[in-house]
Amino acid sequence: MHISEGVLAAPVLLVGAALGLAGTAVGLKKLDYDRIPQVALLAAASFVASFIHVPIGPASVHLVLNGILGVMLGWVAFPAILISLFPQAIMFQFGGLTVLGVTTCNMALPAVLGYYAFSAGIRSPKPFVSGLCSFLCGFVAILLSSLAVAGCLVLTGGSFWAGAKMIVLAHIPVMFIEGFITLGCVRFLKKVKPEMLEVVYARP
């Protein structure tokens, strides 16, 4: 999901940075000081989990988990995703400083949308509704993220069409896997630690 430095056009970078800044500001405003360790450790856990490679056929994909992060954190997903991208930017140079805003938006906006669309459904006591919503939450988050990455490339130049299409197509298996993982993860949390889904990380 990372777009390298130096690829995107200036307007895309600037809009991405502005949106990322705004989203992070909203997220930080809604975040209580008491919740900082929890949010930070969830971000760390999702960072560690993104190194898990899940096999699919002969290849493997790595997890993204922005869907479940969004459902748990709401707007706070913006700063959480930003801080988990930041070490990658300065230590691995995976998507550097100038694309940080764009990448944050690409991953956090779908997370926040997923929060509004599915969080009530996921917390429903009916297993079918909850299961369906959690699958969709993981699925849609990756769908929207890959569309956003593709959109950034296409807005940069028409010659990126082919690449953008390839990116979205390559993410279709990832969407299903994230859907299944989110589904399993929510079921697990409901059984083992239901209060984790009830905590309100973001102030209304």
Partner 1 sequence: MKLEEFATGNSFIHHLDPRGKVVAAAFFSGLVSLTQSLTAALAALVLPVILVALARLDFKRLMTRLAVVNGFILFTWFFIPFTFPGRVIYSIGPLDIHWEGVLYACLLTVKSNAIILALIALLGTSPVLDVVHALSHLGVPDKLVHLFFFCFRYLHTIREEYHKLSEALKVRSFRPGTNLHTYRTYAYLVGMLLVRSFHRSQRILEALKCRGFSGRFYILHHYQMKRRDYLFTSCGLVLPCLLVFIL
**CB-based contact 110:148 (threshold 8 Å):** yes
Question: With CB under 8 A as the contact rule, which of the stretches 80-88, 105-113, 116-124, 125-133 interacts with partner 1?
Answer: 80-88
Burial class (CB in 10 A: 0-12, 13-18, 19+), 88: middle
Judged by CB under 8 A, the chain residues 14 through 33 that form the site for partner 1 are: 24, 28, 31, 33
Distance CA 161, CA 184 (A): 35
> Measured from the CB atom, is 22 or 45 closer to partner 1?
45
Residue ranges in 34-53 that form contacts with partner 1 under rule CB under 8 A = 34, 36-45, 47-49, 51-52
Residues from 144 through 183 that contact partner 1 (CB under 8 A): 157-163, 166, 177, 180-183
H or E segment to which residue 66 belongs: helix 66-73
CB of 114 to partner 1, least distance (A): 16
Stretch of 86-94, 108-116, 122-130, 139-147 lying at the interface with partner 1 (CB under 8 A): 86-94
- The one among 19, 143, 185, 202 contacting partner 1 by CB under 8 A: 185
Helices (H), 66-158: 66-73, 77-87, 100-122, 127-156
56 binding partner 1? (CB under 8 A)? yes
- From the CA atom positions of the chain, what is the Rg in Å? 16
